[in-house]
Structures are given as structure tokens and as C-alpha cells.
Structure 1
Amino acid sequence: MTKKKENIFDFVLFKRLFQYIRPYKFVFTGLCILVILLALFSAITPRLTKVAIDTGVSANAPETFLYYVVLMFAVLIGQTLFQLTFIYYASWLGQSLVKDIRIKLFNHLLRFKMKYYDNSSVGVLITRSVTDMERIADIFGQGLFMIFRDVLTMAVVFGFMMFSNWKLSLIVLVMLPILLYATRVFQKYMKSAFEEVRTEVSNLNSFVQERITGMKILQLFSRETIEYKKFKEINERHKKGWLKTVWYNSIFFPIADLASSITIGLVAWYGGLNVIVGTVSQGTLVEFIMYIPMLFRPLRQIADKFNTLQMGMVAATRVFKVLDTTSQIDDNGTTVANQFKGNIAFNEVYFNYVEDEDVLKGISFNVNAGETIAIVGATGAGKSTIINLLNRFYEIKDGAILVDDTDIREVTLASLRKQIAVVLQDVFLFADTILNNITLNNPDITEEQVHLAAKEIGIHDFILSLPNGYHYNVKERGVMLSSGQRQLISFLRAYVTNPSILVLDEATSSVDSYSEQLIQNATDKITKGRTSIVIAHRLATVKKADKIIVMDAGNIVEQGTHEELLKKEDGYYKNLYEVQFLEEEVA
């Protein structure tokens, strides 16, 4: 089997990147002009030096020599100004382009199905959104334009050399192909090495992110030593990946310097002999000695900048892979739900997270507007899956879910989710103020409305007891609050949206008795006259429900009120009640 030849430079990928330059085409054009000017200015200085020596020093004409020195100084000033402008705008273009790609990527991530995040590493996605983006910026800020400038400088310099003395130029030309070949080999191996580096960087980021997030678990189970050893292994692979790039650099750059030094020596020897016999001027010899580093150094820099370019291209490949991922929920609905009555129907709904492993097996049930239903069952029965499907976090395999006799797939996602408020067992709070965690920066919800809602459900005094009250920063994931306090904030977050349908996913399973009482009182208030689905954990919620749906292994095994279900001899709910709930009731 013939191995496909690996391209040193991916022109298809670069063409795709180039599309993001279009809004900045004037800056791009200006940079191209600056590149040409910098190449010309670089080549002029040695030429002026030659003329200054031949017409000033050799001819014993100090005025002429001083004139050319002033002229060289003016060229140097101009070159410096162009260089400053070039470096700034090359970096500006790179950052502007990356800003646009990063916005597009984040917008893309916001619309992925939950299944994508179930199967993806958070650390890897962070690497794509942050570190890889900076590498893409370097393509333009430190890679592409720098390479273009160096290549053009080499071409202009060699043109000047051929014009000045073609024989001395041939000596330089002998060494150039050797260095060009070495550069190409170097670039090939560096691309492979950088792909390995980027993989290990992603692995390292993912490992560290997960361990820091789960640090409490690691310490609770005394996993520090084991995780330390794992980190050392991952870090060692990361080091080895980088050492490959260091090894290739340590081989190539000394070869490049050696080639330049040998060439200067040959030109000095041959040119010096010609100066003695009078066929080459002193100025020409100095000119060539100045030109050789200008010819070889850009080639050396091209290889160095190509490293940056390769890292950027590898990063761009990874970012575009995420952008090309189609994992969005189809938002083809045309109906905008301003307010639901609250009638819900599941009709023969099948669903699986993994193909051929159904989690819901053709379940059907109805909820009338204003009713409160409780869903009970063992862990893994499919209770939370019902909530996920109602919000269209996942697509069903078969069947239909209706709200007010309308298939939810015909309703726009934004309006559907706006009418359904969910309070989860695992509360997530952002590193922000309590107010912003409640409103989620929704401009339609004022602080006065939040205060009023908090008073209605009885948690206003609790919030005011915190430093800065509603403007208290709860830090990352709400670590400054207890689990019960986080749950209260989450409940208020749902309450202020005034939803048509309320979903409580075991919302009181991890709170203290005081917080539970507050939430229970709020539950009674918010569920009154509003369709509510409660994944029940506490007996009080179950007994008050208008209907109880009992699930087992993806099937609905019983439906009815608390009293009706208790009358069934050897019923699933009755057994569950006696094992799980009766003890709580007696207590």
C-alpha cells in the first residue's frame, strides 16, 4: 500500500483561513506593500556601502563618503519605521482574524447537542477555543508575512548580487541548494513533531482541568499519589514531544550557520584575490560580505517562522474540525411559543443515548394544563431523560412529544426553552454575582423583579444576609455557597422567568431541612395553576402530585394518584413507597 505523500503546506486549509481576511483586505494589501518596501530597503544598504567605499574611501573624497553615510542613515530610519508598522499591523490582522474565528467557534459550540458534550473532553475544547486560537493568530503575526518578507528579501538580495558581480554570486549559489534541501527536510519533520506536540498539549489540558475540577474527590479518596504519577507520565510525553522539535532545531540551525560562514570565507578568499589583481573593487567585496548573511539569515528565519506557521496550521486543522462538526439540534420550527397552556403528551416515545440500547421504550403519558405530576423510579429508569427530551437537548428516536397539541419539533428552540424552567439537582452557578446568576444577564428581568420574587418565595432575607447581598460574587461554580443555598438560587432563577411549564429534577435531594422547607413553600406557590413535572425524591412532593408516573428500565409501569397506587397489591410504587418513603413519613 502506497503511503500518501504528506504536504508541507496545506494550501486548501490556508485558502479557508484566507476567507476570514476579506473584511480586512485593505490592511492585508498594505502589509503586502510594506513587505516589498522592507525587502528593497534591506538590499539598498549594502549597495550604498559599496558606493560609499568605492567613490568616497578609495577615491579619497570625504564629502562624498559623508553624503552616502547620511543617506544610509536615512534609509535605516525609513526601514525602522516600516518595520514597526509592519510588525504591529501583522499582529493586529492575526488577532482580528482570530477574534472572528473564536466568535464563530463559540457560537457553534453553544448550539451543539448535549450528546456532543457527553462524548467530548472539556479540556480539549478549551484548548481549541484558547490555545489553538493563539497559534492561528501567529500564522499571520509571526508566520506567513514574515516568511513572505524573508523570501522576497532573499530574491531582491540575490538580484543585487548578480547585478553587482555574477562570478562571486555563483560561489554563493553553490551553497544555497544544500541549505534549501536541509530546510525542506527540516520543515517536513517539524510538522510531524508539532502535530504530536499539539496532541499532548490537549491531553495535558484535559487532564489538569478534570483533576482541578474534581480535586475534592481526589482528596476524599486519597488519590493524590496515583494522580501525581499519572500527571508525570502525561507531562513526560509532553516533554518528549517538545524535545523532538528542539532536536530538529539543534541540527538545522548549526548547519545553516556553518553554511553561511563557509560561504563568507569562500567569497572573502576569492574576492580578496580579485581585489589584489584589480578585477573586483573593495566596495564590491564588502557589499558581498554584507549580502551573504542577508541571504542566508532569512532562510534560517524562514525555517524558524515555518515552525510557527506549522503550529498554526495544525491548530487551524483542529479548530476547523470542531467547526465542521454537525451536532446541532435541527431548529426548523416555525411556531413561536409566546405562552403555553401547558398540556403535554408523550406518544410512543423511543430514545437511546447509544445505538440499539433504548433508554425509553415507547412511553406514553399525558399531563393536563395546570397539573403537577411526579415521576418516580430507580436510578437509570429514564426519569431525567424525559426532562432532557422535553427541552430538546436530545432528539427522540421515534414517536412524538406534544405541547398544546403541537409537536415540539415545530416550535422554535428558543421559544420552547423560554417557556420551560428547569431546576436541576446538580446546580451550576457562574463566577458572578447572585443577581447575574438569577437573571443570567437577561435585560428583561430587573433587579426589582428579582427582589419581589425572592420575597414571595421567602429567600430575600437569606440573600441580604450575605456580603453585598444580591451583588455577592459566588465564585466559580458557586463555591462560596452551601449546596442548599445554591439550590435556592437555582429555584429563584427558574421562578423569575415566569415559565409556562416548571420542571424540578430532584431539586430538594441535597438540601438541608431549612432550605427544603423554603423550597417546598416556593414549590407550592409556583406550581399552583402551572403545569409542573417533578422528578420526586421527597415524599411530600410525591403525595401532593395530581398524578404519579412510575418508571422502571425505560418503561412506565404504573400511573395514578398516591392513594390509587398504594391500593395495588404488590405494586411497584407500593413496594418503592414501603422501602424508600414510608421510613421518611414515620420519621
Structure 2
Amino acid sequence: MFKVLKYLKPFVLSIITVVALLVVQAVCDLSLPDYTSKIVNVGIQQNGIENAVPKEIRKSELNKLMIFMTDSEKSKIEKNYVLSENDKNIYDLKTKDEETIDELNSIMSKSIMRVSGIDMANKEGAIPNIPKGMDIWSVIPKMPQNQINEMKKGIDEKLENLDENMLTQSSVYYVKNEYEKIGIDTEKLQTNYILTSGAKMLGIALISMAATVTVGFLAARVAAGMGKNLRKDVFRKVVGFSNTEFDKFSTASLITRSTNDIQQIQTFMVLLVRMVFYAPILGIGGVIKILNTDTSMAWIIGVAVVAILSFVSVLFALAIPKFKIVQKLVDKLNLVTRESLTGMLVIRAFGTQKTEEQRFDETNEMLRKTNTFVNRIMALMMPTMMLIMNVITVIIVWSGAHQIDAGNMQVGDMMAFIQYAMQIIMSFLMLTMLSVILPRASVSAGRIGEVLETNVVIDDPKNPKEFNKEEYGNVEFKNVSFKYPDAEHNVLTNINFVAKPGETTAFIGSTGSGKSTLINLIPRFFDVSEGEVLVNGVNVKDINQHELRDEIGYVPQKGVLFSGTIESNIKYGVENLSQDELEKASDIAQAMEFIDNKPDKFQTEISQGGTNVSGGQKQRLSIARALAKNPKILIFDDSFSALDLKTDAALRKKLKEEIHNSTMLIVAQRVSTIMNADQIIVLDEGNMVGIGTHEELIKSCEVYNQIAQSQLSKEEL
């Protein structure tokens, strides 16, 4: 997986931008529960009054509060309150510093609770030596300090168990009453606070939304770009594969790896970029916020995390082995489908449709069962996660209700705690979703890595040589032997011959004698096991592959056409081919005969694989494509087999008339095709058993003589 991640290198700037935006998004998301808490605690429960420090207070009330303050506390109050310019009976708060207000809040809330406690006790007649209903505040200032301290101590004992926030909330009612007596509209104050907080929440939500949308856009772009680069490199690698590598990977598997496997990685990358940075920020931030909100319920989050991790561990233990099986079954299904489609005519001819349907159904059913098993397990994830989240919410409400009843927590704090708990669980859920896709993506990455890391057997030399211009067109085999990888016996043994420009060298032999294998050594589709193959006087292993194959016009045994037009297929190797050259190549290949009969001539559409033309037409177009290159070396690998004798003869005649300077190498099954060749090489079980002209071989080579007699009459011989 890590080897595939190197493809993220071109997108480093985008990833850095994504990380920055995810931090912004996480900070915004973590801020919202705090605002919700403040709206409930301050906006609703405290009527928009944030703390126990009044912005305006009557002089008489401030004097009351200062009775129970220490000298240092009185000094702080006097420093931060000044007489109003409009009303000398009212003090205004002059500071806006938050730290100072926090200090004043602690002082004022305790004093307010003391004053409120004495007022209540006085109304109930619970203060010794003070008649019920008497103005106690005219008496207390005249009392000895030790009596005042005793009163203060008695009230403070009752306040010890109250949380700082609860003290503030309780004191707010006193501040509200004071505001109303001064003439401040507390309802407007409350409305303004709620609207201001709501506007801030809306702004934060919009910033979070903008960050989320941008992250989604960049993540998709990074994943798509990575997928494109992976597909490009896989395709380039596969294009460079020799037959040795194709023996290792089936065509169906390579198609699956280039499409389905890369798609799996692309999907994983979208989630990786969006979640792998966001989830930890959200989870850690949520834990920090919870610890700052209330630590007495932190154990609930621990229970949730343990439950999620236990569930996910069991899930993975069941699912991961199945992911590997799924990808192999997709390979197998593609293989069966491809074989059935390409071999449809044979299937119909032998009436084996039911057999092929059964073969397909078996693989399809195995894939369905495996996918169903995996999907059922994965389907359990979301309901289980929702159950955990709902159970945690119930536990928080149950525990929080007791805390609120005991006066240790406010309602808004409990609501914030629930939201933070959900954010922490969601962060684990995101990582879990990522982990679900990770095993499948990891399998896919491994399969792609196998292709990319495969060492190509046939590669370009580090210091390629130039062709020897004096030997242009020469093809020479020196003591060449060849065997396929992992094979025990040679397919070709000790082959020696020279093919010269302007001459035709033909190869003939029984089926399996090594004719096509020998021809494939020239363009270096395989490398020789022993000896040398020289083209233009240079060993093919020492030449750049593109330059080597640029000198060769190759017509394979099975004609291959590409989707497009007749013109595009003939111009396949030479894009800037003129119309005259196009027609000349087609004329030599005897293709003009059927091209002229087409309504669109050279613009006639060719379907995929050339299925809308006959085998003979396909071969003639393949020959025209090779001739259009005007190569120094022409290779025909049994390329006349689908031609009738008349067309075969006409084609050979045209080749002899028009192609003078090229080295021509022909593999053939029919003696009539090659009997006029300058030299004929006879192969038998990988050995050269004869070389010479038709007349010479009839006399000297028993194998050739037998082949010729089986095909030609005595007069033709």
C-alpha cells in the first residue's frame, strides 16, 4: 500500500491545503456545542446575563455586597466600578478584560449569594435578635466584625458544595432584578444575546460548510489524479510486457487490475484525504472539550470507545479474508466472460451454451455468496454504531440529570457533553469506515504493485548501439537456441542463416516445428537463450526496442485490426502517410479490390477486433499496414493462410515487382507460397534440417520433399 502512496507526491500542495481546511472545519465543528451550551445556560436560563458582574448597579446594592468582602476584594471592586456620569446613585463597570471579569465574577457571585441568603433568612425571621421584616441592612453595617464574619461563615458552609457555574447561575437572578430596578430591558437583553449567539453559530456553520465543500473537491481531484497516474503507469508497464510476463498475468486479470483495483484505491484515497486528518482532530478536540466541560462523566466516553473498538475488531476478523477472495473471483468472472464472448462462434458451433452458462453461473454464484457475506457484515456496522450512540446518549442524560439535580451541572453543559460525545464517536466511526475499505484497497494496491514491480525480461540496453549502415537490412542468426522460461527443452536449437536485402527467405515445417518462434526472435518479442540475432549487423539486445521495431514491418499469424476506419488501420504505424502511398500499400496487399466496393472507401468503419470484415480481408489490411511503413525488413508470419490461391499468387507477384530493397521473411504452410523464394529454411522439431532453393531442397531434404509431395502434383514439383 505504501508503494502506491508515492503517487500522492504530485498532489502535496493540495493535501497541505486539505489539512489546513480540515483543521478549520474541525475547530468550527467543535465550537458549535459550546455556543449551544451558552444559548441554553446564558440565553435561556440566565436571561442573556453572562455572569454575576453587573454592568450597572445601584450604589446602595454595591455597598451591601461589599459588607461581606475582604479588603483585597473591596479594592478590586472599587478599581473596576465608577459612578455613572448620568446618575450618581449608579455604578458602571469600566473594565472589559475577560480575566478581570472572571475574578470579579467569583467575588460578586459569593457576595450576592450571601446577601440573598441573609435577605431570605430575614424574611423567614431566622436571624437571632433581629425582628422579622426589619431593615437588616441598616443594622448589619453597625454590627461587630466578628459577628459579620460568623454570618458570612454560616452562609459559606452552605455554598461549599456548589460549582462555580452554579454560583454564577444562581447569582444571575439577583443581577436581573437589579437591572429591572435600574430600568434596563432584560427581555431585550435576552433576545439580543440569543440572536447574537445564533448569528455567530450560523457564521461558523457556513465557514465549516465552505471548508467541507472545498475539501471534498480537492480530495476528489487528488484521488482522480492519482488514479489517472496509476492507470497510465500500469498501461505503460503492460505495453512493455513480453510474452513471458503475459504468461504470469492473464489478460482478464490485467483488465481487472487496471480498472476495478485502481477504482478501489481511488475510493479509498477520497476517504483517506477527507477523514484520516479530520477524524483525529475531531476526536482529540472533543476529548479536550469534554474534560473542560465536566470530568465526572468522562468514563462514559471510555465505555463508548471500548465498545466500538471491540465491535470493529470482530468485524475485521470476519471480513478481511473475504476481501482477498472477492478480488480473485472478480478476476475469474472477467476471465470466463471474456472467453465466452471471444469464443461465441465456437460455443454455438459445438452447442455448449448450457455448459458455458453453468461455468459462468458457478463463478458468479461464488462471487455473490462472498459479496453477500461481506456486505451483511458491513451492514451491521451502521445500526450497531447508531445503537452505541443512542445508548451513550441515554447514559449521558441519565447521569447528567443526577448531576443537574445535585447542582453540579447546568442543562447546557449536558447538551454540549452529548454533542461532544457524538463527535468523538463519529470520529471513531469515520476511522472505522476508512478501515473497512482499507483491507480491500490494500489487496488492490498489492495486485497493482505486482504489475508495476514486475521486472520486464526484455528491456532496452542502458547504452544502446547504432545500426551498422553498411549492413542495412541484413538479418543473421548465429548459433541461436531458444527455450521458453521454466521449460526443460529447447524449442529452437543451433539455428544459423543470413537473410539479405532484396531477397526472400522462407520458413517451412510441420506444426510446432518453431517457425513462428524463430520469427518472433527478430523483433525481440523473446530473447534468445543462446547465440545471437543480428539486425543491420548489431545484436538485437544492444538496440533500442523502438528503433529496432521501427525497421521492421510485421504481419502476425492472426490479423489484428483496431476500431476506427480502414485508413486509420493502414496508417497505424505511419500517421503522415500520403493518399498515394496509402493506395499503393493497399494495392500491393490486394486490398483495393474490396475497399473500392465499400461505399465509404477508406473511411469505412472497422469494428472492434475487425469483426465486420472477413479473415482474408483482415489479413490483407494487416499486410497493407506493414507495407505502408516501407520497412527495411518485412516479416510475414503465415500471413497468407486465409487468402485464396489466386489472391495469394497476385500478392506475391506484386511484392516481387514493388518491394526490391527490403529483406523479406515469410513463414508459410503452403509450398506454393514460398517455392520461388531465394532461400528456404526447413525446420523440424526446432532444428534446421535444410536450407536452399526449392529445387535444391527437393533433392537434398527429405522433410521438405515430403511436405512438397503432400501438397503439389508431380508436374508442379
TM-score (norm 2): 0.76
**Matches of residues 62-81 of structure 1 in structure 2 within 5 Å?**
62-81=191-210
Q: Tell whether the 8 Å contact from 2:256 to 2:334 is kept in structure 1 after alignment.
A: yes
1:341 corresponding residue in structure 2: 472
Q: Secondary structure at the match of 2:253?
A: helix
Post-superposition shift, 1:301? 3.1
Any idea what the Cα deviations from partners look like across 1:486-507, whole Å, max 9, x if unmatched? Answer: 1111111011111111111111
Alpha-carbon distance change, 467 to 191 in structure 1, aligned in 2, over 3 angstroms: farther
Post-superposition shift, 1:514? 5.5
1:307 matches 2:439: no
1:199 matches 2:328: yes
Alpha-carbon distance change, 447 to 161 in structure 1, aligned in 2, over 3 angstroms: farther
Post-superposition shift, 1:584? 11
Letter in 1 for 2:491: V
1:378 corresponding residue in structure 2: 510
Post-superposition shift, 1:462? 3.0
Post-superposition shift, 1:144? 4.7
Q: C-alpha distance in 2, partners of 1:583/1:54?
A: 114
Any idea what the Cα deviations from partners look like across 1:114-173, whole Å, max 9, x if unmatched? Answer: 222244311100011111111111222123532332232122122211111111222222
Which one is further off, 505-514 or 382-391?
A: 505-514
Q: Secondary structure at the match of 1:582?
A: coil
Q: C-alpha distance in 1, partners of 2:270/2:604?
A: 41
Q: C-alpha distance in 1, partners of 2:196/2:661?
A: 94
Q: C-alpha distance in 1, partners of 2:454/2:715?
A: 48
From 188, 207, 228, the counterpart of 1:99: 228
Q: Tell whether the 8 Å contact from 1:186 to 1:303 is kept in structure 2 after alignment.
A: no
Q: C-alpha distance in 1, partners of 2:602/2:237?
A: 32
Identical columns (%): 26
Q: Tell whether the 8 Å contact from 2:467 to 2:537 is kept in structure 1 after alignment.
A: no
Q: C-alpha distance in 2, partners of 1:242/1:26?
A: 37
**Matches of residues 112-191 of structure 1 in structure 2 within 5 Å?**
112-191=241-320
Post-superposition shift, 1:580? 2.5
**Matches of residues 40-51 of structure 1 in structure 2 within 5 Å?**
40-51=27-38
Q: C-alpha distance in 2, partners of 1:461/1:81?
A: 66
2:454 corresponding residue in structure 1: 325
Q: Tell whether the 8 Å contact from 1:457 to 1:521 is kept in structure 2 after alignment.
A: no
Q: C-alpha distance in 1, partners of 2:449/2:211?
A: 34
Q: Secondary structure at the match of 1:329?
A: coil
Q: Secondary structure at the match of 1:342?
A: coil
Q: C-alpha distance in 2, partners of 1:296/1:33?
A: 23
1:363 corresponding residue in structure 2: 495
Q: C-alpha distance in 1, partners of 2:714/2:212?
A: 80
Q: Tell whether the 8 Å contact from 2:509 to 2:669 is kept in structure 1 after alignment.
A: no
Q: Secondary structure at the match of 1:481?
A: coil
Q: Secondary structure at the match of 2:564?
A: coil
From 595, 605, 614, the counterpart of 1:463: 595
1:490 corresponding residue in structure 2: 622
Post-superposition shift, 1:214? 1.7
Q: C-alpha distance in 1, partners of 2:272/2:301?
A: 26
1:579 corresponding residue in structure 2: 710
Post-superposition shift, 1:33? 1.0
2:531 corresponding residue in structure 1: 399
Alpha-carbon distance change, 584 to 105 in structure 1, aligned in 2, over 3 angstroms: farther
1:236 corresponding residue in structure 2: 365
Q: C-alpha distance in 2, partners of 1:150/1:477?
A: 50
Letter in 1 for 2:430: Q
Q: C-alpha distance in 1, partners of 2:626/2:557?
A: 13
Once superposed, what is the RMSD of the aligned Cα atoms? 2.2
Any idea what the Cα deviations from partners look like across 1:203-254, whole Å, max 9, x if unmatched? Answer: 2122212221222222221121111111111112212221232232244443
Q: C-alpha distance in 1, partners of 2:9/2:705?
A: 68
Q: C-alpha distance in 2, partners of 1:174/1:409?
A: 67
1:476 matches 2:476: no
Q: C-alpha distance in 1, partners of 2:715/2:257?
A: 49
Q: C-alpha distance in 2, partners of 1:338/1:213?
A: 44
Which one is further off, 195-204 or 401-410?
A: 401-410
Letter in 2 for 1:140: M
2:121 corresponding residue in structure 1: none
Any idea what the Cα deviations from partners look like across 1:504-541, whole Å, max 9, x if unmatched? Answer: 11111112456435533433235434221111233332
Post-superposition shift, 1:53? 1.0
Q: Tell whether the 8 Å contact from 1:485 to 1:515 is kept in structure 2 after alignment.
A: no
Q: Secondary structure at the match of 1:567?
A: helix
Alpha-carbon distance change, 525 to 36 in structure 1, aligned in 2, over 3 angstroms: farther
Letter in 1 for 2:30: A
Query: Which runs of 5 or more residues in structure 1 are unaligned?
Result: 1-12
Letter in 1 for 2:465: T
2:131 corresponding residue in structure 1: none
Q: C-alpha distance in 2, partners of 1:359/1:129?
A: 33
Letter in 2 for 1:488: R
From 10, 22, 42, the counterpart of 1:55: 42
1:37 matches 2:24: yes
Post-superposition shift, 1:257? 2.3
Post-superposition shift, 1:360? 0.4
Any idea what the Cα deviations from partners look like across 1:434-476, whole Å, max 9, x if unmatched? Answer: 2221122643434453134334555335324324322222111
Q: C-alpha distance in 1, partners of 2:410/2:522?
A: 87
Q: Secondary structure at the match of 2:472?
A: coil
Q: Secondary structure at the match of 1:366?
A: strand
Which one is further off, 221-230 or 466-475?
A: 466-475
Query: Which runs of 5 or more residues in structure 2 are unaligned?
Result: 48-189
Post-superposition shift, 1:79? 1.2
Alpha-carbon distance change, 257 to 84 in structure 1, aligned in 2, over 3 angstroms: same
Alpha-carbon distance change, 583 to 476 in structure 1, aligned in 2, over 3 angstroms: farther
Q: Tell whether the 8 Å contact from 1:143 to 1:306 is kept in structure 2 after alignment.
A: no
Letter in 2 for 1:356: E
1:210 corresponding residue in structure 2: 339
Q: Tell whether the 8 Å contact from 1:53 to 1:65 is kept in structure 2 after alignment.
A: no
Post-superposition shift, 1:338? 8.5
1:438 matches 2:570: yes
2:149 corresponding residue in structure 1: none
Q: C-alpha distance in 1, partners of 2:658/2:439?
A: 57
1:389 corresponding residue in structure 2: 521
Q: Tell whether the 8 Å contact from 2:637 to 2:667 is kept in structure 1 after alignment.
A: yes
Letter in 2 for 1:282: V
1:19 matches 2:6: yes
Q: Secondary structure at the match of 1:380?
A: coil
From 691, 694, 701, the counterpart of 1:562: 694
Q: Tell whether the 8 Å contact from 2:649 to 2:673 is kept in structure 1 after alignment.
A: no
Deviation >6 Å, runs of 4+: none
Letter in 2 for 1:321: E
Q: Tell whether the 8 Å contact from 1:138 to 1:309 is kept in structure 2 after alignment.
A: no
Q: C-alpha distance in 1, partners of 2:207/2:309?
A: 31
Letter in 2 for 1:33: A
Alpha-carbon distance change, 338 to 227 in structure 1, aligned in 2, over 3 angstroms: farther
Alpha-carbon distance change, 459 to 175 in structure 1, aligned in 2, over 3 angstroms: closer
Post-superposition shift, 1:426? 0.4
Q: Tell whether the 8 Å contact from 1:123 to 1:210 is kept in structure 2 after alignment.
A: no
1:4 corresponding residue in structure 2: none
Letter in 2 for 1:265: V
Q: C-alpha distance in 2, partners of 1:97/1:41?
A: 30
